Chains A and B, each alone.
Chain A
Amino acid sequence: MSIITWMLLIPLITTVAIFISKNSDGMARVMAFIGSLITLILGIYACFQFDFTGVGYQLGQVNQWFPAFGVSFAVGLDGLSLPLFLLTALLVFLVVIFSWKTEERAPLYFSLLMILETGVLGVFSALDFFLFYIFWEIVLIPMFFIIGIWGGPRRSYASMKFLIYTHVASLIMLLAIGAMAFAASHLLGYFTFSMPEIMGAGFSTGFQLLVFPALLFAFCVKLPVIPVHTWLPDAHVEAPTGGSVLLAGILLKMGGYGLIRIAYMMNPQGAQAYTPLVIILALLSIVYGAYVALSQDDLKKMIAYSSISHMGFVLIGVASLTAPGIKGAIFQMVGHGLVSAMLFMGCGVIQHSCGTRLISKLSGLYSKMPKAMTLFVLAFFASMGLPGFVGFIGEFSVLMGVWQAFRYIAFLVALGMIIAVVYYLWSFQRIAFGETNPELGHIHDGSYYELVPMGILLILSIYFGLQPNGLMAVFDPIVGQILHLFGM
C-alpha cells in the first residue's frame, strides 16, 4: 500500500478508535493528536521519498475498483499537490492542539476533524475523477456539522448556506467532469475516469469553451471569488476557531487546486479564451474584497474578506500563464494557508479571552495579552505581504507575472496590497493600542496550547519568506508542464 493510502486511512482509523473509546473527552483528543501526528510524520516522510525534479505523479497507487465503469482507486502526488497535501496534514495537527480544551461533545468534534482530514487529503491526492468527487463531497459534511454544532448564534443559517452553496457548485463540477469523461471516451476509445488519461485526451476547442466556464464557476465558489463568495464570511463568522482555520487554511485551496489541475490543465484553449473574464473576477476579488474588509467590525469577517482578496492573487497569477505568475499563485496558496491559520487562531484567542471579536468593543489589548498580540500583529504583517514573510514572495511573484502578461493591471493588484495595509494597521491600532476597554473585564493572555501552534506557523512563514527557493523549486516540473500545455 502506498504511503498516501496510509495517510488517507489513519485519520479514519482514528475516528473509529475515538468511537470505541467510549466518549471520553481526554481519550478523544489524545487519539486525535496521535492520529494527526502520525499522518503528519508520514507526510514528512513522503517528502523525503519524493523526487522533486521528476515530472508526473509519484508515490502513487492504482487499483481497479469497479472496472465496468472504468473507475479505479488511484492516488499520487506531484509538485502541485504535495505542498498542499502536507499543509493539510500540518494544519489539522495544529488545530487538534489548538482545540485541546474543547469541552462540548469533544469526541464528535475530533472525529469530524479526522474525517475532514481524510477528505481533503483525498482531494489533493486523487487521480481518478470518481474518487476525487467522492472526497470533494466528503469534505462538506464534517465542515457542515462543525459549523452547525459548535458555531455561533446564526450557525444554522451559515452552515446551510455553506452546504447548499458549495454543493450546487459541486454538482456543476460533476456535470463538467461527466462531460469530460464521456468526451474522453470518444477520443480514447475506452471509458475511464482516470485524470491523467482524460487530461491527455485532447478535447476540441469548442468543447473546452463549453466546459471551462462550468469548472470556473465551480472552483470560483470554492476559492471563493467575488461575486460568488458570500457563503465564506458567514461561515467564518459562525464557525468555531478550528473550523475557521481549516476552512481558510485548506478548504479554499481546494478551489485553487481544482482550478489549476482541472479547469486550466485539461482545457487550455478554453482557459485562454476566458482570460479577460478571469482577470475581471480576480481584480474584483482583490480590490473589492479589500475594500469590504476595511469596513468590517468583526475581526473574523475582516480576515475572511482579506482571504478573498488574497485568493484573487491566486486567480490572477494562474491567469497570467507565466512561470512567476503560476509559481506565485501556488506559493500564495501555501503561504495563505499558513498565515490565515495564524490569523484565525489569533481571533480565537481574542474571542476566548475577551468574549467578543468586535473591533469597536476591543481596545488596549496589547498591554493585557502581550504574547498573543505580538503573534497576532506579526501575522498581520505576514498577511499584508511584508518582505521577510511568506506572503511577500507569493504576491511579488504574482505581480511579476501579471506585469509580464498584462502590464498596467499590476497597478490594480498593487492597490489591493495598499488597502491590506490600511485595514490591518487600522484594526490593530483600534484593538491593541490605547486604554483597555473596562467593559471587557478580566483579560488573560493566550494559553500555551493556543500560542504554540501560532508560533509554529509564524516560524514557518518567516522561514518560507526568507528561504523560498526550496518550495519554489518544487513547482518547477509542474509549472513547466502547465506552460507546455499552453504552448509556452
Chain B
Amino acid sequence: MIDYFWLIPMPVLFTMILTLLFGKKLGLKSAYLGMLGTIASFCMSLSVLPDVIAGTVKQVEFTWFLNFKFGFMLDPLTITLLLLVSFLATFILLYANGYMHGEGGLMRFFAEVQLFTFSMLGVVIADNILQAFIFWEIMGLCSYLLIGFWFHKPSAAAAAKKAFLTTRVGDVFMLIGILILYTQTGSLQYHEIFAAAANMDPFWITAATLGLFGGVIGKSAQFPLHVWLPDAMEGPTPVSALIHAATMVKAGIYLMARFMPLLVLAPISQNFMVIIGLITALGTALMALTATDFKRVLAFSTLSQLGFMVVALGTLNMAGAILHLINHAFFKALLFLGAGCVIHVTGTNNIWEMGGVWKKDKVTAITVLIATISIAGIPPLSGFWSKDEILIGAAHANPIFCGILLLASFLTAFYMFRLYYVVFAGKPRTEKHGHACGKTMLIPLVVLSFFAAFSGLFSKPIARFITGETMAHGSNTVMMISIVVALLGFLLATVIYGWQKISAAKIANTFKGICTLLINRYYIDAAYNWFCNHIVVGLAKVADFFDKHVIDGIIHIVRDVTLLVSKAAKWVDIYIVDGIIRGICSGFVFGGSEIRKTSTGQLQQYLLLIAAAVTVMIALVWGGLL
C-alpha cells in the first residue's frame, strides 16, 4: 500500500464522479456514497500510518509542464491531515444526510462537498507548491459554490462572491511568492526549495514567505482579509463545519507549517505573522462578544482560534499550531454540527430567540457543552492542551504576546459560555418551533464529542510524531495562568448570563460606543464595500467613459476629419478640377457656337469670304510674309 499512497485522495474523486452520475436518483443517499469514498481514504491513510511512524517518507513525481512536476509526498504532517480531513468529512457527510432532508439540488450539494474534501486532500498530499496552489484554488471554487448553495437568497450569493474574491486577493500574493521561490531556487518541489534555502538571499526568503503568508491571510481568514468568513455561514451548516474544521481555513495553517524550514530563516516574516495573528485573535474575540447569530459567534471564534495558530507558527511553534489545528477541528466541527441541530430544533439563528434547548435536546446540549469547555481551554479537555502549548511558545518569544493571547483566551471562555447559557439555559424566548434531529445528525455529534474531549491527551506523541522532537516541558506558571483565565471567563459568563446577577444590557449601555463598533465589525466591511463601490467601480466607470469618449472620440474625429477632407476634395473636384475642364469645354462650345453663326448656308457669302481670304493670302505672299 505504501507504494500507492498517492491514491489516497482518489476514492473521494471517484465517488464524486459517481455522485454526479447517479446523484439525481440517489438523493440523500448520495451522502452514504460520499462516505464510502472518505472512509476508503481514511482506511488507506490508516494502512500506511505504521510505515510513516516507522520513519518512511515517500515521494513520487511526474513531469507536468515546462519544468513543473506533478507529485505526491507522504510524511508525518501529511498523514496527520489526511486522517483528520477524511475522518471529519465522513461524519459531516453523515450529518448532511439528516440536515439536507427536504432540500433541492442534492446532487450538486454532495458532489461539491466531495470535491471540496478531495481538493483539501490534494493540497495536503502535494509535494510541490504549485500543485498545492491548484487544489487550493479549486477549494476556493468549491467554497464559492457551496456558500452560495442557496443562490436565490441575495445574501448567500453576495457571501459566496465575497469569499472567493477576498481569498483570491491573498492568492495573488501567494502566486508572487511562488514565482519568487521558482526564480530563486529553480524548483517548486518542497524538498528542493528547502535544500536550496541555505544559499538563498535572505531578502528573497522574507519576500517569498511573506507572499505565501499573503495567501494564508486570505484562506485562513486573518486580518485584514478575515471579512469573508463570518459571512460564509450563509451556506448550509455542514458546509460551515467543513470550511471551519476540515478544509479551507486549515489549508493555510498547513501550508505555513509546511514552509517552516523556510520560515525559520525569515525573522521579519515571523514577526509579521505574530502581529497579524495577535490582531486577529484579539480583535475577532471582541467581535464575538456582541454577535447574536449562533453561527456567527462560532465564525468569530474560528477567526480568533486561527489567530492563535498563526501566532504559534510565527513563534516557530509548529507542534502547537498543528495540535491546535487538530483539536480545533474536532470541537469546531462539533460546535457547528451542534449549532445546526439547535437551529433545527428552535427554527431560528438568533440566540436571543432561543433558550431552554437543554430540555428539548439533551444529546446536543451535552455534546455542545463538551465542545464549549474544550474551546474555552478548561482542562482536561482537548482545547486546553494545545492552547497551553501555544501560550508557552508565545511566552518564550515575548511575554507581551502571551499576555494578549491570554486576554483573547479569557474572552473565548466568556463568549462561549455566554452563548451556551443564552441558548441552552432558561426557557424558550419565542414560540418558534423546529423539528427534532434525526439519528444521522446526532451520531456525528456523539463521536466528535469523544474526540473533542480526549484528543488533547495524545498531544505529546502527536507532537513528537510531527516535529520529530520531544515536546519541551513548559513553565507551569503559564499553564496555571491560562487555567485561571479560562475559569475567570467562565465565571464572568455565569454571573452575567447564568445567574443574571449583572445586567448585560447595562454593561452594553455603558460601553455603547465600543459595542456599536464591534457590532459593525470595526467598519472594516463597510470600508471595503465603500472602496469597491466607489473607488473600484468609480475607476471602472471613468475608464469606460475614457474609452467611449476619448479613445473612440479620437477615432470619430479622424472619421469626421476624413469625411470633411473628402467633402473638400469633392468641392475642389467639382468646382476647380472639373471647373477647369468644363471651362475649357464650354470655351470650345462657346467658340463653336459663335463660329457656327457664320454658317448661314448662303453660297454668295461663302464665296465672298473665300475671295477675301485668298486676297489676304496673296497680299501676304507678295509682301514676303509667307
Contacts and interface: CB of A to CB of B under 8 A. Distances in A.
Interface of A: 161, 165, 226-227, 229-230, 288, 291-296, 323-324, 327, 364, 366-367, 381, 386-388, 392-393, 396-397, 399-400, 403-404, 410-411, 414-415, 417-419, 421-422, 425-426, 429, 432-435, 468-469, 472
Nearest to A470: B65
A208 to B, nearest CB: 28
Contacts of A410: 176, 179
Given A294-B537, A425-B165, A399 B175 contact: yes
B158 A429 contact: yes
18 contacts: A230-B552, A288-B543, A291-B540, A327-B66, A392-B134, A399-B175, A410-B179, A414-B175, A414-B176, A415-B172, A421-B165, A421-B168, A426-B161, A429-B157, A433-B151, A433-B154, A433-B156, A434-B157
A294 B540 contact: yes
Chain A interface SS verdict (over half):
helix
B544 A292 contact: yes
Nearest to A234: B552
B183 A404 contact: yes
Contact of B164 (A230, A296, A324, A425): A425
B179 A399 contact: yes
A387 B65 CA distance: 13
A410 B183 CA distance: 13
B179 A403 contact: yes
B536 A393 contact: no
Interface residues of B, number: 46
B51 to A, nearest CB: 29
Contacts of B160: 429
Contacts of A386: 137-138, 140-141
Contacts of A165: 555
B137 A387 contact: yes
Interface in B328-348: none
A249 to B, nearest CB: 23
Nearest to A305: B547
Interface string B538-576: 011101100100011001000000000000000000000
Contacts of B4: none
B76 interface: no
B164 to A, nearest CB: 6
A46 B543 CA distance: 45
Contacts of B180: 403
B544 A295 contact: yes
A296 B165 contact: no
Given A425-B165, A472-B65, A291 B175 contact: no
A290 to B, nearest CB: 9
A324 to B, nearest CB: 6
A421 B166 CA distance: 10
B551 A227 contact: yes
Contact of A418 (B144, B161, B172): B172
B141 A292 contact: no
Nearest to B168: A421
A291 B539 contact: yes
Nearest to A428: B161
A296 B161 contact: no
Given A366-B151, A468-B65, 6 more contacts: A291-B540, A294-B537, A295-B537, A417-B172, A433-B156, A435-B152
A381 B176 CA distance: 20
Nearest to B545: A295
Interface string B136-173: 11101100100010011010111011001100110010
A289 to B, nearest CB: 9
Contacts of B165: 421-422, 425
A403 B180 CA distance: 8
B151 A230 contact: no
B203 interface: no
B64 to A, nearest CB: 6
A17 B169 CA distance: 54
Contacts of B385: none
A369 to B, nearest CB: 13
B235 to A, nearest CB: 14
A411 B137 contact: no
Contacts of B168: 418, 421
B182 interface: yes
B602 interface: no
A397 B67 CA distance: 11
A469 B537 contact: no
A292 B161 contact: no
Contact of A292 (B138, B157, B182, B540): B540
B66 A324 contact: yes
B179 A422 contact: no
A295 B66 contact: no
A434 B154 contact: yes
B63 interface: yes
B133 interface: yes
Interface string B111-137: 000000000000000000010011111
A406 B148 CA distance: 39
A165 B552 CA distance: 12
A327 B172 CA distance: 21
A291 B82 CA distance: 41
A388 B164 contact: no
B129 to A, nearest CB: 12
Interface in B172-231: 172, 175-176, 179-180, 182-183
B152 A367 contact: yes
A425 B169 CA distance: 14
B555 A230 contact: yes
Contacts of B169: 418
A472 B65 CA distance: 7
Contacts of B552: 230
Contact of B175 (A366, A396, A421, A422): A396
Contacts of B544: 291-292, 295-296
B23 to A, nearest CB: 14
A438 B543 CA distance: 32
